[in-house]
Amino acid sequence: EAGVAQSPRYKIIEKRQSVAFWCNPISGHATLYWYQQILGQGPKLLIQFQNNGVVDDSQLPKDRFSAERLKGVDSTLKIQPAKLEDSAVYLCASSLERTRGYNEQFFGPGTRLTVL
């Protein structure tokens, strides 16, 4: 099966600029996650969608980060304005819908963001 797609793969911007990332999950996967992975750390969940509704955005810096998942398929994550500490790999993952219990999360290749 086709995997999770993300674009762009790399992005370099200056602080205070804005940037957007795109994710296309595996077909049929209702749950979509955006993670931030800072170098040398584990992925940290930013936001989780179930279909096109937000399930958890408790760790999303809402003053600068926003995300949407229109029609319950593709998703975009935006940062505006970017800060130096936003430099990281942004990973998108998807899984089958489960209200309780767990299914494997499939990760995309990530977008490496460098903020100068």
Chain residues in the site for other proteins (CB under 8 A): 4, 31, 33, 40-45, 48, 50, 55-56, 91, 95, 97-105, 107-110
Structure tokens given for 18: 């804005």
Q: Min. distance of Cβ 97 from other proteins in angstroms?
A: 8
Helix, strand or coil, per DSSP, at residue 86: helix
Relative to beta strand 111-115, strand 10-13 is parallel
Q: Between 18 and 103, name the residue whose CB sits nearer to other proteins.
A: 103
Rounded Cα–Cα distance for residues 104 and 116 (Å): 35
Min dist CB 95 to other proteins, Å, is 5
